[in-house]
Amino acid sequence: MALFYLVGKQDWVGYLGLGAWYAVQGYVLLFCAYVLAPAVLYVVRGAAPSRRPRRPAPAPQTNFVLLVPAHNEQELLPGLLASIAKLNYPAARFRTVVVADNCTDRTARLARQAGAECLVRTTPYPSNKSQALAYAATELRLVEHHPAAVVCVLDADCRLDAQFLAALDRQFARPGAAPVVQSSRRVANAFESDVTVLDAAAEALRQQVGAGGRRRLGLEAFIFGLGCCLRAPVFTELMALPITSLAEDKEWKAYLASRRIPVAYCPEALLSYQAVGTGAAFAQQRKRWLSGHVATVKAHGLAMLGQGLGRGNLSQVDFACDLLQVPRSCLLVAALVFAAVASWAGQWSLLSSWGWLAVAAGLLAYAGLGLRLIGAAPRHWLALLSGVGLVVGVAKSLALIVVGYKDKDWKATRPVAIEGVGLKKQKV
C-alpha cells in the first residue's frame, strides 16, 4: 500500500511540474505576442500619425507649473532652464519651480539667477524624487491658489522643445480632455555609446510604437514619470499617496487606473533627456528600476488585472499586462532556452525548436525596428552584439530581486554636462 502511495505521489509531483513547465512557456508566448502586436500594427498601418486638418491655434488657455526636483544638479540645470526660456508660450502663463532637495552645490542659486522659483528642502536623511515632489505639493498649495493649473514633472537633465507647452495647451484645452497627459520623450545623446544606442532605440519603441499605437487604438497612455503633466487636483492627490517603491510612475498609473482617471498621450509635446552611457551606470539604473517595478507588480499586478477584467476596461487590462510582463530581454533569453529544450525534448514543448527560434527572431526584429526609428547607421547595429552583456545583466538583476534583493535608496546615475564642452563620463 505504501508503495502505491509513493508511486501516486511521484506521479502527482511530476504532473504538477509538467503543468508548471507548460505554464511558463504559455506565459512567455503570451507576452511575446503582447510585445510584438503593437510593432505589427505600427508596420501595417504605417508610421505616420493620422492627419487631421489643423485649425488656427487659439489663444493659450492653460497655466502651467514646470516642476523640477533637483539634487546637486548645478551642471545640468542651466541647460533645462535655457530651453524653458526659449518656449513659444506666453511667459505670464507658466512658472518654473525648482525643488533643491538636500543640495550641497549651487543648484538653488543657479535656479534663482535664471528667474525660476526655488524651494529648498533639507532633511537629515537621504530622500528621493517622490518625496521632493510631495514637498513641493505641500508648499505650493496649488489646489487652493491655482486649481486649473497643469503641473509638468521634469528632470534637470531634460530639454524642452520650443512648442512643448503650446502642444500641451491644445491637448488640455480640448472638450473632455484627460486630466493627465504624458508627453513624448527621446534620448538626446543616442549615439554616444552602444548603451545609449540601445536605450534610445528602446525609448523610440516605447513612444512611437507603444504609446502611439495605444493612441491609435483609443487606449489610455502609460506614465513614464519624466514629462508627465497633471491637473493640480490630480497632482496633489497623487502626492498624498504613500509611495514606497522607486517606480513612482507605475504607482501613479495604478492609482489612476483603479479610479478610472484617464491618461492621454501627446506626441507633439516633445522633450529630450540624457541617457547614461556606460554599462555599469546602466546596470545600476536598471537594477533600481526593476526593484521598484517588482514591488509595484506585487502590490497591483494581479489585482489590476482582475479589476480590469471585471470592469471590461481594456486600458486597465493593458496596463496590468505591462506590469506583469518581464523585461523583453528576459523574454528573448527564455525563447532561446525553450528552443534548445525543444530540440531534444520536443514532446514537452508548446512549439517546435523552429517555432521558438521564430519567436526569438521576432524579438530581435523588434529591436531592429527601434534602431531604424532612431536613424541608426549600419555601424550602430553592432550595438546589438554588445547588448548581450546588458541582457544577461538584466536577467541576473531580475532574479536577485525576485529572491529578495531590494534597492530602496535613490542614487543619481545621470551624465554630468559641462557648459560649453558637452558631457563628462557618467556618474556611477
Identify each DSSP E strand in 31-108 by its residue range: 64-70, 94-101
Contacts 24+ apart (CB under 8 A), 411-414: 411/284, 411/288, 412/71, 412/72, 413/276, 413/281, 413/282, 413/284, 413/285, 413/288, 414/76, 414/155, 414/156, 414/157, 414/274, 414/276
Starting from the edge strand earliest in sequence, which strands make up the sheet with 94-101, in order?
Answer: 117-121, 94-101, 64-70, 150-153, 228-231, 180-187, 263-273, 158-160
Distance CA 367, CA 361 (A): 10
Distance CA 76, CA 156 (A): 6
- Burial (CB < 10 A; 0-12, 13-18, 19+), residue 330, is middle
Distance CA 381, CA 379 (A): 5
Distance, CA of 197 to chain centre: 17
Q: Which residues contact 55 (CB under 8 A, 6 or more apart)?
A: none
Contact 183, 227 (CB under 8 A): yes
Which CATH class name applies to 64-276?
A: alpha beta
In angstroms, the first-to-last Cα distance of the chain is: 63
DSSP, residue by residue, 86-154 = T-SS-GGGEEEEEEEES--SSHHHHHHHTT-EEEEE--SS---HHHHHHHHHHHH-HHHH-TT-EEEE-
Phi, psi of 365 (to 5 degrees): -65, -35
Strands 263-273 and 94-101, how do they pair? unpaired
Phi, psi of 280 (to 5 degrees): -65, -45
Q: Residues 114-172: pLDDT tens digits?
A: 999 999 999 988 788 889 999 999 999 999 999 999 999 999 999 999 999 999 999 99
Identify each DSSP E strand in 164-293 by its residue range: 180-187, 228-231, 263-273
What pLDDT, on a 0 to 100 scale, did the predictor assign at position 317?
A: 97
Q: Which residue ranges make up each domain of the chain?
A: 64-276
Report the amino acid identity of residue 224.
F
Q: What is the pLDDT along the chain (428 residues), one digit of tens a residue?
A: 443 344 445 577 777 888 899 999 999 999 999 999 999 999 998 655 555 556 666 789 999 999 999 999 999 999 999 999 999 999 999 999 999 999 999 999 999 999 999 999 999 887 888 899 999 999 999 999 999 999 999 999 999 999 999 999 999 999 999 999 999 999 999 999 998 999 999 999 999 999 999 999 999 999 998 999 999 999 999 999 987 666 789 999 999 999 999 999 999 999 999 998 887 787 777 777 777 778 888 889 999 999 999 999 999 999 999 999 988 988 999 999 999 999 988 788 999 999 999 999 999 999 999 999 999 999 998 888 876 666 666 556 555 555 555 554 445 555 544 333 333 333 32
Q: Residues 352-377: pLDDT tens digits?
A: 999 999 999 999 999 999 999 999 99
Distance CA 336, CA 59 (A): 55
Helix 2-45 vs helix 328-344: angle between axes, to the nearest 10 degrees?
130
Distance CA 102, CA 123 (A): 7
Distance CA 87, CA 106 (A): 24
- Burial (CB < 10 A; 0-12, 13-18, 19+), residue 307, is middle
Q: Which residues contact 87 (CB under 8 A, 6 or more apart)?
A: 94, 160, 162, 164, 165
Distance CA 118, CA 97 (A): 6
